[in-house]
Amino acid sequence: TGRPGDELSQTLEDFLGSKLDKEPEMIAWGAKRSPATYLDRINANGAAIMMGNAWGDTIFPPNQYASFYEKLAGPKRLEFRPGDHATAELTGLFGLPNDTWTSTRRWFDRYLKGERNGIDTEQPVQLKSRTDKGYEGYPDWKSVGAAKNRIQLDGTKKVWANVDSGANGGITLLSNALDQFLKLPPTVSVPLLPRTFASVWQSERYGSEQRVRGTAELHTTVTSTKSSGTFVAYLYDVGPLGVGKLVSNAPYTFHGQTPGRPFPVDLELFSTAYDVPAGHRLALVIDTVDPLYIEHNPTGAQLTFSSPSTDPSHLSVPLREK
């Protein structure tokens, strides 16, 4: 609806073109416009800030919202619900009932009009699971996934780059909208994933429901045949027939590594709220191509994922406490 200026147009061109030599300029451009840059001034002003976003926002992932929220010192509220960029708020544009708009009006009534409507006495972190209809309240973000389930990523697995294994994050806006309205996330048959192009680890079958809440964290050791590369990690809820429903994912790109030399990787997957039914497994899948992300895998590249005894690889999955 707007006309981008020359500076924005150039920055977008550099970003979408993966112009690494322009990276410092792009970071500086973003920092100038980021509220995180002015956090001290925001806190000094005592601003009352409410933030609402969708779990599947493909432009502004939830992780950065949560990180910024935790640093705010004034009155604050954080809401996450299913959807993608603007889809969670869409119905409000047409005057239809919408949770985000309702909360926003209540927040403004409290902190602009001074009405005592109770929003400031509620738990400030409000989450709606992608697999449930209700909201959950928490005192802060760190309480969301207070319990941890560590999945060991044993063995050594190799994948060839530049081939899509079939695991992917879906289609921008469409896939997360289907997840929001119909509870249909991207799926894949985990047993049929070609192991030449995808590494797979699975947990045991869970005897009880696993309520994933927050940010899953991957730690692994990577060895590449090239100095640059990209891989994408996916977390799936796998049912008895081997069909995996996407719980979360995240890409990782590296540059300047020595070919053949192992290096450690720590990667945060995108924060989410998802309930894994009893009798299901969690699976971690790693491949190198996803239509959602720009990748930097040279022709003929191969990636090896290992788990040294001195630095075991694992996936830490945050769970809601019983």
Q: Which of 245, 235, 225, 248 is nearest to 298 (CA)?
A: 225
Q: Structurally, how many domains does the chain consist of? A: 2
Specify whether the CB–CB gap between 287 and 231 falls below 8 A: yes
The larger pLDDT score, comparing residue 123 to residue 3, is at 123
pLDDT digits over 100-150, tens only?
Answer: 999 999 999 999 999 999 999 999 999 999 998 899 999 999 999 999 999
Q: Are strands 125-128 and 76-81 parallel, antiparallel or unpaired?
A: parallel
Q: How far, in whole angstroms, is CA 197 from its chain's centroid?
A: 23
Q: Are strands 229-238 and 243-254 parallel, antiparallel or unpaired?
A: antiparallel
pLDDT digits over 308-320, tens only?
Answer: 999 999 999 999 9
Residue 266 bridge partners (DSSP): 219
Q: Which of 276, 116, 135 is nearest to 204 (CA)?
A: 276
Percent share of the chain, pLDDT over 90: 98
Same-domain check for residues 116 and 139? yes
Domain boundary among 114, 143, 172: 143
pLDDT at residue 264 in the model: 99
Domain of residue 59, residue span: 34-143
Domain boundary among 143, 161, 181: 143
Q: Are strands 281-287 and 210-214 parallel, antiparallel or unpaired?
A: unpaired
How many whole angstroms separate alpha carbon 152 and alpha carbon 188?
22
Enter the pTM of the model.
0.96
What are the b/e assignments for 210-226, b being 16+ CB within 10 Å? Answer: bbbbbbbbbbbbbbbbb
Same-domain check for residues 242 and 279? yes
Scanning 17-149, the segments in alpha helix (DSSP H) are 23-33, 39-45, 62-71, 99-111
Mean pLDDT of 197-203: 99
pLDDT at residue 1 in the model: 58
Q: CA distances (Å), 311 to each of 217, 306, 308, in order?
A: 15, 10, 5
Q: Tell me the CATH number at 92.
A: 3.40.50.1820
pLDDT digits over 228-243, tens only?
Answer: 999 999 999 999 999 9
Mean pLDDT of 149-173: 98
Does 120 reside within a domain? yes
pLDDT digits over 27-80, tens only?
Answer: 999 999 999 999 999 999 999 999 999 999 999 999 999 999 999 999 999 999
pLDDT digits over 149-158, tens only?
Answer: 999 999 999 9
Same-domain check for residues 232 and 212? yes
Does 271 reside within a domain? yes
Does 7 reside within a domain? no
pLDDT at residue 322 in the model: 74
pLDDT at residue 133 in the model: 85
Percent share of the chain, pLDDT over 70: 100
